Amino acid sequence: MRLKPLLLACLLLCGGARAEDAAGGNADADWVGGFALLGRERAVLNATPLNEANFLDLAGHKTELVGLLEGRYQQFSWRARVETAHSDVAGERQRSAFTLQELNRVFQLNDAVTLSLGKRLYALDPSYVNQPLGFFQKRSDLSDPLDSLGQSEGLPMAVLSWTGASASVAALYSRDARRHADGYNRGVEQSLLKFGYEFPQLSASIVLRRASGESNGIGAALSGAVGDTLSWYGSAYSARGSQRPIVAGLTAPDGKLGVAANVSLHANAGGASDADGTNGTSGSSGSSGGAGGQGAYGPLRANDGHRYHRATVGLVWTLPDLPKLQLEYAYDGRGLSDAQFGRLLALVATNRESALPTPAIAGLQAQLAQLLVSQGARRRYLSVSLAQTAGDWELGGGVYLGQDDRSRVWHGTADYRLDTRTTLMISALHQAGAADSERTLSPLGSSLALRLRRQF
């Protein structure tokens, strides 16, 4: 592990390689840039039956040292991130990781056609928090909505695109074979066609997608502006079947689990932490085996024949000398309905009363906790956020409201620019709701972080 702190030290010495050309708007110039970051984070965990005795091993305290280096050389672009973290998690107090987030080569076949090969991000969705078309984008994190920590990681893909005066066409193929499928963007083989057109003050696109384990899907995105102060956007996607993980007991018609289901759930129980989720739980797919598949956690709706719809609409209103206002409403048919969430609460209660060994019960509850992802386990959400510059301060914050159970995620950031390259960053997050809401059931209650970032 000595190599990774050495790489981090090298990043700290890269101040002379700052991306002056990129900052000046010369996108075709070769450049190198990045940042070094030192941070301290404190989390307060909820007293929830889904994380008895901190079965999920969520950190209460964490100190992190992060370095990110990115650049462009001719037709190559890259971004790499190294992190060393120390936490109070038993058995994993010191953790280091190196991630090659992007490495991509663009071939200019002619004036209108390009071929891109490598690992990269590809934005299809203009939305802020919930992105129905975010197949090749980082899943949003309410604790770091602008990705100031540089956690975005691309996917291996090939992109062939044609761009005309107003119209554009792109064909994408991605096979993320090295990572386990999580039911979202990771570990997926997918192909997509995008047709776009630029109207005056309006951008429109239609996408056709085929992903492993799902039927063909169709989606669309629109974005536009009204004058200089108001912009708006919307996106939608629909497909039969869903890879989003769920527990089998929540899909049963009567919502009841028999003895075989309980045995299967215990056989497959397990927990993990999720660096992406504000709920502090894993979005990765767990075991889907077990007796007859009953009680399994995994992509159990891939071939159920049901059509799942997702849609987001939003607007951004910017007025001089007033905070920027952003509103976003999202619907995700893959989330839990009222009846399904009621079954989840019933399962939580049933597990607590089980006569099975305590570790097995904890593992079973942790399996349910994996459903509580950052963007929410339910279907309808409203996001309200404000942003304002005040001198050397960049202030932002808002609330993420669950319309199904009135749960709330309050989040805020305050960045103070010490000089042109150094920023002091403060961020906070708090989850709240009624006793039977998803945010109260979540293992994570609140978090507060203080970080110092130096750009080069």
What was the pLDDT predicted at 182?
Answer: 76
pTM attached to this predicted model: 0.84
End-to-end CA separation in angstroms for the chain: 25
Q: Is residue 435 situated within a structural domain?
A: no
Residue 142 near residue 408 (C-beta atoms within 8 A): no
Domain count, the chain: 1
Model confidence at 288, in pLDDT bands (50, 70, 90)? Answer: very low
- Give domain status of residue 287, yes or no: yes
In a domain, 330, yes or no: no
Residue 255 lies in a domain: yes
Domain that holds residue 282: 245-300+337-370
CA dist list (Å): 294 to 145, 151, 252, 353, 371: 37, 36, 9, 20, 17
Q: Quick one: DSSP state of residue 302?
A: T
Query: In this predicted model, what pLDDT tens digit does every residue of 315-357 receive, in sequence order?
Result: 999 988 899 999 999 999 999 999 999 999 999 998 888 888 8
Task: Please choose, from the candidates 358, 452, 341, 411, the residue with its C-alpha nearest in 3D space to the C-alpha of residue 12.
Answer: 452
Q: What is the largest CA-CA distance in the chain?
A: 69
With bands split at pLDDT 50, 70 and 90, how would you rate the model's confidence at 127? Answer: very high
Number of other CB atoms surrounding residue 110 within 10 Å? 7
Question: Hey, how many other C-beta atoms are within 10 angstroms of the C-beta on 163?
Answer: 15
Confidence of residue 28 (pLDDT cuts 50, 70, 90): low
Give kind and range of the element (H or E) at residue 241. Answer: none
User: What DSSP state is assigned to residue 287?
Assistant: -
Tens of pLDDT along 43-88? 999 999 998 888 888 899 999 999 999 999 999 999 999 999 999 8
207: β partners: 194, 219
Surface-to-core class of residue 302, CB atoms within 10 Å of its CB (0-12 exposed, 13-18 middle, 19+ buried): middle
pLDDT band at 208 (very low <50, low <70, confident <90, very high): very high
What is residue 361's predicted lDDT score, i.e. its pLDDT? Answer: 85
pLDDT, tens only, 416-453: 999 999 999 999 999 999 988 999 999 999 999 999 99
pLDDT digits (tens, 9 = 90+) for 383-399: 999 999 999 999 999 99
Tokens 């349910």 — which residue? 368
- Mind listing the pLDDT tens digit for each residue in 256-283? 444 334 434 443 443 333 334 445 544 3
Instruction: Tell me if 263 is assigned to some domain.
Output: yes
Distance from C-alpha of 379 to C-alpha of 359, rounded to nearest angstrom: 31
- Decide if 349 is inside a domain: yes
CB 105 within 8 A of CB 75: yes
